[in-house]
Chain A
Amino acid sequence: MLAVLLAAALGLGGYLWLTTVRWQADSATWEAEARGYADRVATLRAELEATDAELVSAREQLATATERISDLANEKAQLGDENVASQQYLDYQTQVSEAAGAVATAMDQCVDAQTQLIGYLQDSDAYDQKDLDRFSTEVRKLCKQADAAHEQLQRELQQDQ
């Protein structure tokens, strides 16, 4: 009986020794594993902080870039408006110049014709009355055209007011 008890006690002791050794080894392995992951976490945290800092910087740069793009888009739009306005003013000035040129030409023709008519009238006996009447009608027509050109110029000028 004592032998059986002794054997049982030895068996139990052996099992407990084996269990202790295995758990010690297991614990050491887990601890090594945990320390490895802790180191990895520390590394990743450092990388994350660096990445966060880069992200903040990138966001700031993006905000600056988008703001600059908006500014440039606005500047381009304003310049486009000014360009169109300048072109329209140039077109207007061209129209006015053309109208003024037409007035000057028509007035010249009117004055020349009237001068010529006065000359004819001063020596009216030398000309046929019908020819004088016809020439007088043509002169009036020329001067009416000059008046029309002048009125057109006035209208062009009033558009700018």
Chain B
Amino acid sequence: MTGRPAVLRGVAAGVLATLLAGCGVLPALPDAIPSDVVPSRPSGFSSPSADGELSPDGFDAVQRMAVRIRNVGCGSLSTGSGFAIDEHTLITNRHVVADSQSLEVSTYDGRDLAVSAASTARLADLAVVRTQDPLPSHPRIAEDDPEQGDEVSVVGYPEGGELTITAGSIVDSTTDPLNENLGEVLVTDAPVEPGSSGSAALDAEGRVIGVVYAKTSDGHSLLVPRSTLQEMLADSGAFTALPPCS
């Protein structure tokens, strides 16, 4: 008679133990609903910044740094191109500004900039023109000369017409066939025309790698390399004041 209660107690104990063990797998009560689940800033989202990469007027930086130069001579008129290297200085060719009575500089949007001074290099077909009015934009000069095959963009005013960007690549380097420059010059297949002289030649990142100064008979164009430009700019005696025409 003592065996039956013992069995019942064992079963009850087993059920109770099972129930208690089952409590461990019961679902917990839900947490309180947070009042706001919207993150303060979505991950991976970045606001645009006005750090100079944005155009203030819809024109590219390469267009904004180009200028058109009108050389009013003593009974002559010619046009060329140039580009800014700082807020009041632009680079062009010596032959673009030579024999001038006055130089007239205009920007991509047709504004006229007053010229304060001009000087030319003796050992390269380069000239520096200073403006009283600030230039809209200026590019960086590349740290190295380009290699053969590198992309080139030329920004200027061929035939004195509209601002034009042409593309090509560096095809060679050679000694100057015109004997206007000391050292080697670059050859590119980017199309240029008369009036493009003084145009900036830019690499794929928009940095200056040379200055257009001539066109060859086989349709290629010649560039004063940026190394020559920088050497001239670093030499205070490399440029002399431009004499007026007579």
Contact = CB atoms under 8 A, between A and B. Distances in A.
A69 B163 CA distance: 11
Given A81-B77, A84-B72, A76 B106 contact: yes
B30 A23 contact: yes
B79 A26 contact: no
Interface in B92-141: 104, 106-110
A63 B58 contact: yes
Nearest to B76: A88
A71 B109 CA distance: 9
Contact of A4 (B12, B23, B109, B161): B12
Contact of A92 (B16, B75, B157, B162): B75
Interface in A1-16: 1-2, 4-5, 8-9, 12, 15-16
Contacts of B19: 5, 8-9, 12
B4 interface: no
Contacts of A1: 8-9, 12
Interface string B41-68: 0000000000000000111000000001
Interface string B174-216: 0000000000000000000000000000000000000000000
B33 A15 contact: no
B16 A88 contact: no
Interface string B4-45: 000011001001100110110011111001000100000000
B226 interface: no
A65 interface: yes
Contact of A81 (B20, B26, B160): B160
Nearest to B5: A1
Contacts of B29: 18-19, 22
Interface of B: 8-9, 12, 15-16, 19-20, 22-23, 26-30, 33, 37, 57-59, 68, 70, 72, 75-77, 79, 104, 106-110, 157, 160-163
26 contacts: A1-B12, A4-B16, A5-B16, A8-B16, A16-B26, A33-B37, A62-B58, A66-B57, A66-B58, A71-B162, A73-B107, A73-B108, A73-B109, A73-B163, A74-B161, A77-B110, A77-B157, A78-B160, A80-B104, A80-B106, A81-B77, A81-B79, A84-B70, A85-B77, A88-B75, A92-B75
**10 closest cross-chain pairs (CB), A and B:** A73-B110, A26-B30, A1-B12, A62-B58, A66-B58, A74-B162, A76-B110, A29-B33, A8-B19, A22-B29
